[in-house]
Amino acid sequence: DAKTTQPNSMESNEEEPVHLPCNHSTISGTDYIHWYRQLPSQGPEYVIHGLTSNVNNRMASLAIAEDRKSSTLILHRATLRDAAVYYCILREYSGGGADGLTFGKGTHLIIQP
């Protein structure tokens, strides 16, 4: 899987939007961009994924650059429960789902009350 680069940590205030960046300059045309987050002492949970177009779901939005070399996960209104490590992961489309995920170091998001 291609490599991603994320800031080690970010801090935000409760009830404010949070923009978590991810660089993936070596992304290939068939790589999907996935985001997962891991709350303390828990397994990761899926947040969102996309290929080219921006995506929205109940948890977050994903903004993908036109050249696809970077993306931004947007939490529209952060709460204390959003404090977690956020992982940006590229997944090559293989049609089978037979490969595990390659986790980088992620971004540790700190939310201040």
Partner 1 sequence: GAVVSQHPSRVICKSGTSVKIECRSLDFQATTMFWYRQFPKQSLMLMATSNEGSKATYEQGVEKDKFLINHASLTLSTLTVTSAHPEDSSFYICSARVQNGANTEAFFGQGTRLTVV
Q: Which is nearer to partner 1, 14 or 104 (CB)?
A: 104
- The values of phi and psi at residue 12, to 5°, are -145, 165
Give the binding range for partner 1 (CB under 8 A) out of 9-17, 32-40, 62-70, 71-79.
32-40
Q: How far is the CB of 15 from partner 1 (least distance, A)?
A: 26
Task: Check if the beta carbon of residue 103 is closer than 8 Å to that of residue 55.
Answer: no
Alpha-carbon separation of residue 43 from 19, 40, 60, 78, 88 (angstroms): 23, 8, 19, 20, 15
Alpha-carbon separation of residue 88 from 15, 20, 53 (angstroms): 23, 9, 16
Size of the site for partner 1 (CB under 8 A): 28
Mask: binding to partner 1, 2-21, rule CB under 8 A, as x and -? --------------------
**Residue 104's closest CA among 23, 15, 19?**
23
Among 11, 15, 16, 92, interactor with partner 1 by CB under 8 A: 92
Among 8, 43, 66, 81, interactor with partner 1 by CB under 8 A: 43
* Residue numbers at the binding site for partner 1 (CB under 8 A): 32, 34, 36, 38, 41-46, 49, 87, 91-106
